[in-house]
Amino acid sequence: MNTSALIKYFFKTKKISFILIWLTIVISSASFYTMNGFVETLKHRLYHSARNLSSGDIKISSTQNFNKEQLEKINHALQNKYLTSDMLIFPTMAQRDQGDAFLCSIKAVDTQYPFYGTAILQDQLFKPLQANECYIAKEIANRFNIQPGDFLKIGSQSLQVKGVIIELPDQGISNSSAFNPIVLIRIEEANASGLLQFGSRVSYMKLYKGNHPNLTQEQIEKDAENLESKFNTDGIQVSTWKDSQNISRTLFGRLSSYFNLLTYTSVILASIGFYLGLSAFVLKIHSDSAILYGLGISKAILAKSLYQLFFFIITSGALIGLVIGLTGETYIVSQLDSLVVTVKQNKWHWQLILFTLIFCFASGGIIVRMIINTWLKNLNPLQYQMAFSPNYFSIKGMVFYLLFVLGLLLVFSVLQTGVWAPSFAINGAILLLLILLFAFTLSLLFILRLLNKPFLSSPIMYFANIEFFRNKRQHFPSLLGLILSSVLVLGIITSRDAIKQKLSLDKHSDTPNIFMVDIQKTQLNDIKDLIVKNPNTSNFNESPLIRARLTHINDTPLVTLKEKAKQNNDVRKLNFLNRTFNLTYKDNLNKSEKIVEGKFWQPSYDGPDISLEAEFAKSMGVTIGDLLGFDLAGIQIEGKVTSIRTINWGSLLPNFFVIFPEKKLENAPQFIIGSAHVNPTALSTFQNQLVVDYPNISVIDLTDIFKKVQFLFEKVLKVLVVSSALCIISSLVIMASTLLANQSDTTQRHYLLKSMSMNQNQIFLVDFLEKTFYFISLILATFCLHLVANYFLSQQIKEEINFDLYSFCWYCLTVLILVFAPLLLKLRKLNY
Amino acid sequence: MLECQNLSHSFYNEHVEIPILQELQFQFQEGQSYAITGTSGSGKSTLLNIISGMLKPSKGQVICDNKNLYELSDEELSNWRLHQTGYIYQDFRLLPRLTAEENVAFPLQLAGEKLSIALQKANAILDELGLESRKKHYPSKLSGGEQQRVALGRAFAKEKQYIFADEPTGNLDATTAKKIIETLFSLTKKNKTTLVLVTHDLTIASLAQNKISMHQGVLV
């Protein structure tokens, strides 16, 4: 028998149901591809390019130049099995002739650079620099209108720009063009610039590339370990490209888990919508199918036509979803391009396209088979009205389906990331979340039902109560879907506001808007004079800055601390342990600091006390009474933590994680960091003059930095909005499917109640009360879970997230309209 | 007394008038039982729906206690149906999410009874109908005969002046149908209720005190 006539009939008569089901497939496919596509891109950049990111097989870095003894140790340890390359990185001011000075990051390299990967220049091939030449980042070229051929002044050197950098292989995830644009120069010019002074913020690096045919990765690791053990107390860090990959893996894992969370939520919502849509569809076609079956069309033919129809729907939905997903991924990459250096080539993630299609067919196909087979089994030509039968949604069926979808997502996650544990963890977390959501919603409904009891004397209230609370199969799936998407959307809104708050500056007219770094002690009085005499500058604050390395915490040496942090994959702590600290000394707190624990010392105190910043102390696991040891250019110093303080970073005053008493460190090798307010219109002039008079001093334009951060943040927010939009559309589809499924049931109920002598107003009241219970359940559940989500989010972003009443009211209003609009628009009048 | 005066009713299909009832005049006396019979399409169910206050006629009046039913407001008419009439359908029409006893109690609640009293009365009548063990069951768990008995209980839970039954045994087997009809007639006799029953079964029709035959919308 030709099934096409049957297919056309079903399609023509149940168009709306098909559209809703098709939309859920599109959303599923689009969400799956969009987020996973971006994660794929990140993975390639972070993970597969680890060797490029590390600049070599082994990297040795220090804040001071390597002395003869250290070089001998290195050579002895590595035994000529490696090629060597040197690199320096430091921030400084640069200036084009007759142009404005700007802050940049100098990367000084030799002719071996890069050991791995390819540097990409605009309109030309990369070749090693010659004397007095430099390459500049694209941002410098665009922002300051500097072209190849122009000259750039860096310290005492004047270098000709030979090309514009598009991408460097060791740039990493963060596109430093976003903050300090790169200028690539030769090491010889860096040495001759006069900028490499004692105390300046230079990173000296030695890079090694294996040059021996028998050199295995295990040998490289052994060599690195051997080296590390030789430099335990020298403040020199040794790392291999594997270390870089491990850190990347953790970073990638964390980033991808956030994106996976969004993907999963979107996919789960779409799955709930699909299930509901399919169940509603079955309800709708039941009468017709029973009649057709009675006329002689077999169940097998009915099944065949429906499977063909759904195959078409799933295929077209998946493909359209892929197109939308690709667009979404392109949009996300374009938004985050300033932050993440992305892989420009190969935008087609073929494997992911295949995964997406398989996912759609597997998840859609299995549930179509399950529901249609079950329905057909019970199809009876004599019972063509399902209206008075139990409604068709099975919560057990939906639970089974969601578990199946989670299982599929787990498999794809493992295939994508190559590791089981994080995939299990995220799936487990989602499952737990769903179970908690289920349990919480059920409990809330139970409590609401109990609270309703005093009002049941009214028959209308009594009946509406029964209709809502006993009809879980119809209300529950849509409640779950709406609660989930509401919590997600509200979470994004409130954390956006919290982060915006964090990024906002104090608005006073003399709030510092520049930092000056690398001021020598001998220059301090001149700088103060300069600020005072200049009518466009004010509010100068200075702090001494002493570079130091952490050597131990209590009895635990740094090496052991690092090992523990590596084992625990505590990237944040590892970063703190690896870095060079900026200490300061003073006897008075500034207005942005507040002691929250312990006691700050009195002026002229010279004891070995330390005051720590609160978040830093928490990350390091350090508290009052703990001992911290530092190495200050060879001098060992130890202090006991006696106070912990919070800092309002938005004040833009020079603030430090670690403070010692003035008498303790006043004679240590140091330079000065200062902040000041400069009239924005006079900022360029001030900067240019400073660079000429004091070429060692770098000026950081804080307003510019903040603007850049806010700009990047807005881009990240747009990405979140895209993914939450998919969730919102899913939840609207869920609502529409539920309405559609309930339609005939509601109509029948109206007629029943009418025949039982209820008047129009009473019938309307029953509907209204039912919707009210639904609305109250939704709002209460969302409110409670939103508070819980806020707490967890605040732990993640380390910023307090307050409940935003304004946003919540808007949300309530939106939900109110969505829930009650169908009721108000379709006031049925029954015939007399 | 319930009286039909010049009752006519038509349906319209794309502006074409299809007459169903034509100029009917009849009186239903108190305490009597009436069986309306006729071929399919004769207008039996339409007549029943009109005289029970469920369908407004195209022309004519239905007078009850000197009041034209269709000049009452929706509230007044609903009130009349709630307090004065009971209806038994061919397809039972029980509320699916209420148990048997709740289905019977619900109209009593609507009429102003407290829930506990309503349930008490519902239980009493369900016991009378032999459904003691099925009170807490939902309609989907009841057989056709049991559902119709619940519907009977719902109709008779409160004393009513009129009971309207539209093919009450249409979906039942012969044995069950017989039991239902016997119960229906015994309850109406006991409560001295006016029963108006639509049926095409002449055996059932013969049990009624009065027979009304209809053909093409006219009484014969």
Residues 740-759, chain A, touching B (beta carbon < 8 A): 749, 752, 754-759
> Cβ contact (<8 Å) for A467 and B97?
yes
- pLDDT tens-place string over residues B160-214: 899 999 998 888 888 888 888 998 999 898 888 999 999 988 888 999 999 999 8
- pLDDT tens-place string over residues A623-676: 999 999 988 877 888 999 999 999 887 677 788 999 999 888 888 888 888 888
Residue A272 pLDDT: 84
Average pLDDT, chain A: 81
Local confidence band at B119 (pLDDT 50, 70, 90 cut-offs): very high
CB contact B70 to A (< 8 Å): yes
> Cβ contact (<8 Å) for A831 and B55?
yes
> Cβ contact (<8 Å) for A757 and B55?
no
Residue B117 pLDDT: 92
For A410-424, A739-753, B51-65, B179-193, which range has the lowest pLDDT when averaged over its residues?
A410-424
In Å, how far are A59, A85, A110, A213, A631 from A206, measured between CA atoms? 6, 6, 11, 21, 22
- More confident site: B82 or A262: B82
> Cβ contact (<8 Å) for B109 and A757?
no
A11/chain B closest Cα distance in angstroms: 26
Task: Assess whether pLDDT exceeds 80 at residue B29.
Answer: yes
- Determine the average pLDDT of the residues in A773-781: 92
B111/chain A closest Cα distance in angstroms: 9
Give the residue on A whose Cα is nearest the Cα of B46: A832
Residues of B in contact with A756 (CB under 8 A): 82, 95, 106-107, 110, 154
Residue A233 pLDDT: 58
* Of B56, B75, B91, Cβ closest to residue A832: B56
Token pair for residue A629? 């040891």
Local confidence band at A391 (pLDDT 50, 70, 90 cut-offs): very low
Task: Assess whether pLDDT exceeds 80 at residue B95.
Answer: yes
A317/chain B closest Cα distance in angstroms: 37
Residue A176 pLDDT: 46
Residue listed under structure tokens 């409640």: A479
Query: What is the torsion angle, in degrees rounded to the nearest 10, for the CA atoms of residue A366, residue A369, residue A371 and residue A376?
Result: -170
* Of A752, A757, A831, Cβ closest to residue B110: A757
Residues of A in contact with B97 (CB under 8 A): 466-467, 470-471
B121/chain A closest Cα distance in angstroms: 16
Query: How many residue contacts between A and B have a Cβ separation below 8 Å?
Result: 64
Local confidence band at B28 (pLDDT 50, 70, 90 cut-offs): very high
> Cβ contact (<8 Å) for B110 and A759?
no
- Mutation site, B46, B51, B78, B88, interface A, largest A CB count within 10 A: B78
Token pair for residue B23? 């100029």
Residues of B in contact with A764 (CB under 8 A): none
Residues of B in contact with A755 (CB under 8 A): 54, 87, 89, 93
Complex confidence, ipTM: 0.74
Task: Assess whether pLDDT exceeds 80 at residue B143.
Answer: yes
Residues 97-116, chain B, touching A (beta carbon < 8 A): 97-98, 102, 106-107, 109-110, 114-115
Rg of chain A (C-alpha set):
33
- More confident site: B39 or A160: A160
CB contact B82 to A (< 8 Å): yes
- pLDDT tens-place string over residues A263-314: 778 888 888 888 888 887 887 788 788 777 766 777 888 888 889 889 999 9
B49/chain A closest Cα distance in angstroms: 9
* Of A456, A459, A755, Cβ closest to residue B54: A755
> Cβ contact (<8 Å) for B140 and A759?
no
* Of B87, B91, B115, Cβ closest to residue A462: B115
| Share of residues in chain A with pLDDT > 70 (%) | 87
A391/chain B closest Cα distance in angstroms: 10
> Cβ contact (<8 Å) for A457 and B74?
no
- Alpha carbon A753 to its chain centroid, in Å, reads 53
CB contact A471 to B (< 8 Å): yes
> Cβ contact (<8 Å) for A757 and B95?
no
DSSP A554-584: TTEEHHHHHHHHHHTT-HHHHHHHHSPEEEE
Residue A249 pLDDT: 67
Task: Assess whether pLDDT exceeds 90 at residue A159.
Answer: yes
Give the residue on B whose Cα is nearest the Cα of A469: B97
> Cβ contact (<8 Å) for A457 and B110?
no
- pLDDT tens-place string over residues A395-450: 777 888 888 888 888 888 777 766 677 677 777 878 888 888 888 888 988 898 88
CB contact B54 to A (< 8 Å): yes
Rounded CA separation A58/A210 (Å): 9
> Cβ contact (<8 Å) for A388 and B98?
no
For A139-143, A384-388, A510-514, which range has the lowest pLDDT when averaged over its residues?
A384-388
Task: Assess whether pLDDT exceeds 70 at residue A743.
Answer: yes
Q: Is A728 within 8 Å of A720 (Cβ atoms)? A: no
In Å, how far are A583, A644, A656 from A586, measured between CA atoms? 10, 15, 11
Give the residue on B whose Cα is nearest the Cα of A468: B97
**B139 preceded by cis ω (within 30°)?**
no
> Cβ contact (<8 Å) for A471 and B97?
yes
Residues of A in contact with B136 (CB under 8 A): none
Residue A658 pLDDT: 92
- More confident site: A643 or B77: A643
- Determine the average pLDDT of the residues in A614-627: 90
Residues in Cβ contact with A10 at an 8 Å cutoff, skipping those fewer than 6 apart: A285, A288, A305, A306, A309
CB contact A475 to B (< 8 Å): no
- pLDDT tens-place string over residues A172-190: 655 444 467 889 999 999 9
> Cβ contact (<8 Å) for B106 and A389?
no
Residue A343 pLDDT: 47
CB contact A456 to B (< 8 Å): yes
Task: Assess whether pLDDT exceeds 70 at residue A824.
Answer: yes
In Å, how far are A286, A290, A291, A380, B170 from A384, measured between CA atoms? 7, 5, 7, 7, 16
- Mutation site, B10, B51, B71, B95, interface A, largest A CB count within 10 A: B95
B38/chain A closest Cα distance in angstroms: 24
Residue A316 pLDDT: 92
Phi-psi region of B31 (alpha: psi -120 to 50; beta: other; left: phi over 0): left
* Of B74, B92, B106, Cβ closest to residue A760: B74
Closest by CA to B18, choosing from B9, B27, B31, is: B9
- pLDDT tens-place string over residues A343-387: 444 455 777 888 888 888 888 888 888 888 888 887 766 555 544
Angle between helix axes B144-156 and B174-191 (nearest 10 degrees) is: 10
Residue B35 pLDDT: 94
Total-model pTM: 0.73
Residue A264 pLDDT: 79
Going A3 to A27 to A32 to A808, the CA torsion angle's sign is negative
> Cβ contact (<8 Å) for B96 and A388?
yes
- pLDDT tens-place string over residues A443-496: 988 898 888 888 888 888 899 988 888 887 778 878 888 888 888 888 888 877
Query: What is the torsion angle, in degrees rounded to the nearest 10, for the CA atoms of residue A751, residue A757, residue A763 and residue A765?
Result: -170
Residues 143-202, chain A, touching B (beta carbon < 8 A): none
Residue A600 pLDDT: 92
| Share of residues in chain A with pLDDT > 90 (%) | 14
